[in-house]
Chain A
C-alpha cells in the first residue's frame, strides 16, 4: 500500500497533524517548522508527480488513470480506498500544494491558538488531497466531508466580523449540498451495475459498465450537479460565498476559494458528467442558464460592493460560474478552459485574499471608501494587488486570459442560438470584470491617501513576500506558457468526450425509434 506514490499525499498531511500534535502550544517555531517542511514536501511531491506523470505518458502509458491502487475498506458495501490520477488531478494536486504552501506563509503570525489553527488547516488539506487522488466515490465523498467540516471551526474561531453566523451559514449550506450529493452517489452506486452482487463505487468501473437507466440518470445528475454546484458557488446557491469569505481568516479564504471551490468543479466533471453522460446531454441547457446567470450576476454584484472581500467573493461567483459553464459545454476545448480557469481562479483568488489579509492586517479596515493611495505607502503589496487584478480581468501573459479565451472559443463551437446567446453574455463579463477591478484599484491603491494614519504603515515582510511571489510566479507561468497544461490534460478528456458522444448518439437513436 505504501509503495503507491499517491497515498503519500494523504500520509504526509497526517504526519504533519501528528507532528503538530506533538508541538507545544506556545512553540511558534516548532509549529512553523512542521508546516513549512510539510508543505514544501507536498509541493515537491506534486511537482515530481507531474514530471513522472508526463514521463509515463510520453513513454506511452495510455491508461485513463495512472498510479492506480485499490485497497478494500469495507467489504459488505464494496468500498475501497482506490486512488489514481489523470492529468486533471495532477494539476489540481499542484494547485492545492501551491496554495497550502502559500497559505502557510500567509498565516505566519496567526493569533490566537496557532497550533490549533494549523491542525485544522492541515486536516482541511488532508481532505482536499484525498479528494483529488480518490477514484472511489465513497472515499471521495468522505474526504470531501473531511475538507468541509474544519471550515466551521476555522471561520468560527479565527474569523472576523459576523463569524459565527457566517461559519454556520457556510457549513449548513455546504452540508445541504452534501446531502444532495450523498443521495446522488448512493443512487449511482445502486445503479452501478446490472448485477446486484457486483455493485461498485469505483468511477472507472462504473464508466466501463453498462450505462445507467436514462430516467434515473436525470435525477442523479440533478442531485450530483447541484450537490457539487453548491460548492462551486452556482447561482442561486452561492450566498455562502460572500459571507463566508468575508469572515474567514486569510489562509482559510485562500484555501477555500483557491482549492475548495475547485472541488465542486472537479466533482461535477468527474462524477456528474462522466458517469451520467446522457443526462448531461439532456439537462445541460438548464444548468447553462444557471451558470450563465452566475457569471454575469456575480460580476454585476461585485461592481457595487465596498468591502474588499465581498468584491472578491462575488468575482469568485462569476469566475467559478465560468468553470461550471465551460464544463457544461461538453467539448474538449471548453473543458480544457474549465480546468485552466480552475487553476487560474484558484491562484489569483488566493493571491487576492492573501493580499487583502495583509492590507487588512495593516489598515484594520476592508472598506475601500476608507482607504486610498496605498500604492505610495506599500508599493510592493500595491503592485501585487494590481497583478492579481490584471490576472482577474484577463490580461494576456497572466493566467486569466488563457483560461477565459479557451472557454470562449470552446463554447463558441456550439452553433445554435441558445449557446451563442449565453456565450456572448459570458464574454460581456470581461468588461464588467474590468470595471470592478479598476474601480477597486483606483480607490484602494491610487489617488490621494485617504487616512493619514495609513502613512505610517509598512510594506510586506519576508514571509508575505514568499507567499505572494509563489502565487505570482505560478500565475505568470500559466499565462506565458499555457500549452504544457493543455498537453498534460489533453488525454484526460478523451474518455469523457467519448461517453458523452456515445450518449448523444444513443439518445438520438432512441428518439428516432
Chain B
C-alpha cells in the first residue's frame, strides 16, 4: 500500500522546499505545461463551449451512473470479456491476483495508471511473487527508484535528467559504462530497449482506463509512448482496472471529452495514441489478449454521489489543476502524502482516506482559483476545499489555537461598536510601537507573518477614527 504521509504535510513541504533538485525540476512544470495549455486553448475557438459540453456529459452520466455501469457490464460480457466489481482496494487487489494466478503469471507489464497506485498494486504483486514492470517511461523511472508518482500525468516530473541518468547507470549495469546518456532521447532509447523484451515476456498486461464506454463495452486509454498498446495487446491476459466514474455513455461522448483532455493536460490536440479495446481477441484478429477482464472499483466514490463532493467525480485526470497551482509548484506532488497531489488531491484525498488524515490538503490552498479557471470539467475545486474545511470545523479537527483565535475575532466582527472600540485602541498603540522604518520585523503572536516578511505598520488612527475626526472638523468649520 502507498504509505499515507498527508498528516505530515507541513514537514513534507518543508523538506520539499529545501530540496534543490526538486526545486530545479519544478521549474519545468511552471513554464512548459502552462504555456502549452494556453496556446492549445486559444487555438480552438470552441474550447470553452467544449468544456461546457464535457461537463454536461459527465454530469448526466453521474446522475445515471448505475444505469450506465450496468449497460457497460452487459456489453463487456457480450464481447466475451469479464467484469469484476470491487468495493475496496483490497478486493480489487485480490481479483487481480486471482486472475494472475489463473494465468500462471510471473511477469506483469503495466500501462500508466493512477488507479493501480491508489490500490497499491505493485507492492502487493511483488509480495505475492509476481513481478510488475511499469512501461511508461516516467513510471519506469520511479519504479527503479522505489518512489511513487509526483504528478498524475508526468510521474517523474520531480526529477532532473541527471538524476535519471544516475538511476539508469545503476540499474542497467549490463550496458557499457561509457555510453552517452546526456540527452533525454538517449535515456528514452535505453528505456525502450530494456522494456521491449519485457512486453514479450509478460503473461498479463494491466492498464487503467481514461474512459469506459457503456454503448460498446470498450475501454479507452491515451498515451504518448504507445506503451499502453503493447501492454494490452501482447500478453495473454489484459486486465483493465478502472474506477466507476470513468464511464461515459457513448463513443461520441468520449471523443468530445478527448478534445479537452490532451489540450488541458499537455497542450496537445490529441495524445499520440488513443486506443480503444473491446473484449478479447476474436477469431481472425491478428493480435489481442486471449482474455479480457475489467475490474470496476468503487473505493469510496459512490459515497461521494449526492454530496457536495459529487462534482469531483467529473475529473478526467488531466493534471491541469496541479500544473497551474502555486502550492504544487512550490512543494511538488510527494508532499501531499498520498496518491493524488495538487488541487484535485486536496479534494479527493480527504474523500478517499478521510479528512482526519487528509485535512491539511484542502487547507493548504491560497484559494487563488487558478485550478478552477483551467479545469476542463469546470470542477469548483476551491469551493469543495472550503466544504472540507467546514467539515473539519464542525468536527473540531483543526488546531484549538486556530479555532479560538477565529472565534474571538469573529465575536468582535459581529459587534461593530465593540469592534470600533477595540480596534480604535489597538491600532494607535501598534502605531506608537512601530519602528521609524514603518514596518515591524518581529511582533508577538505574528511569527507566522514575520518569519519571512516584515509587517507594514498601521497609520496613527483607523480609517473610521480619521473619518470621524474629519467630519468633526468640517462641522466646526460650518458652525
A, B: real partners: no
A interface residue numbers (CB < 8 A to B): none
